[in-house]
Amino acid sequence: MLKRIAPWAGMLGPLLFTLSFTVNGLLQPDYDPVRRYISELSIGPYGWIQIASFVFLGICILLFVPGFRAAFPTGKASKAAPVLFVIIGTCYILSGPFVTDPYSMFDNQTTIQGTLHGVFGAIVFSLSVAVCFVAWRRFRSDEQWKQLSLFTLVVGIAMAVLIVLMKIGQLQTGLLNDWAGMIQRCCLIISYAWICIVSSRLYLVGKDGDYEPAKPEEPEEPEEPTEPTEPTEPTKQTEPTEPAKPTKPAKTGDDEGEQGL
């Protein structure tokens, strides 16, 4: 049952979360999505929408995990990736009730709940990058998933760069600080797009909810060298048979008479 739900959960959660923070940002006239972070939508009269969105997305990611585990039961990423997804999903769920502080991100929270929200957010961003590189190691060696290997690598690198830019924007005023909200949105949307594409691939690979993962390629065993056969001894030439000696003709009676004469 969970295997059938997994691809849909992986696609539905990120899509609805993106739709939620987009619409919720439009409902708050004093909110600037270019400069302010998504988590700040949890503050105010419509904050419950964003809180519920965090929880819903976390649940969807947890439901996505069994499908990923079924597709990769052994080999690279079979253990690490599901664990990372579980931590990410759990942190999303906890980010909902622990509301952020205004104009805060990661390490500049002032309240306990804001500090916890910053910790959960930092874990989500860090592990979202890590899971891309973990999955990339598996995709590049799996025939069914090799098409997504380059895309996965690019997503991981792009997210890492955007996170660094976000951090720089926090530490100093300027262009990056003024665009902090947009940089965060780009980083998350890239991550959600990757999850959606992986989920759609899970749906295509799965057959009626039963996955048939490609077996990891086993190295070919070297053929054992065949022992050289001993050369056969040359057949001895048969000696030529001596010609039979001519037999003397038998003596007849006439001959005996002649000898007696």
Number of domains in the chain: 1
* pTM score: 0.76
Instruction: Evaluate whether residue 238 is within a structural domain.
Output: no
56-81 per-position pLDDT tens digit: 999 999 999 999 999 888 888 889 99
Instruction: Evaluate whether residue 246 is within a structural domain.
Output: no
Bigger pLDDT: 252 vs 56? 56
Distance of CA 107 to the CA centre of its chain: 31
Instruction: Evaluate whether residue 76 is within a structural domain.
Output: yes
Q: Which residues contact 59 (CB under 8 A, 6 or more apart)?
A: 9, 13, 89, 93
User: Average pLDDT of the chain?
Assistant: 82
163-212 per-position pLDDT tens digit: 999 888 777 777 787 888 899 999 999 999 999 999 999 888 875 445 55
Helices (H), the chain: 2-27, 47-71, 80-95, 112-139, 149-171, 175-178, 180-205, 253-260
Instruction: Evaluate whether residue 72 is within a structural domain.
Output: yes
Can you give the residue range of the structural domain that contains 142? 2-205
Bigger pLDDT: 235 vs 65? 65
Question: How many of the other CB atoms lie within 10 Å of CB of 94?
Answer: 18
Instruction: Evaluate whether residue 77 is within a structural domain.
Output: yes
Question: How many of the other CB atoms lie within 10 Å of CB of 197?
Answer: 16
Instruction: Evaluate whether residue 223 is within a structural domain.
Output: no
Instruction: Evaluate whether residue 231 is within a structural domain.
Output: no
104-137 per-position pLDDT tens digit: 655 566 788 888 998 999 999 999 999 999 999 9
Q: Which of 64, 60, 57, 63 is nearest to 19 (CA)?
A: 57
Instruction: Evaluate whether residue 233 is within a structural domain.
Output: no
8-state DSSP, 28: -
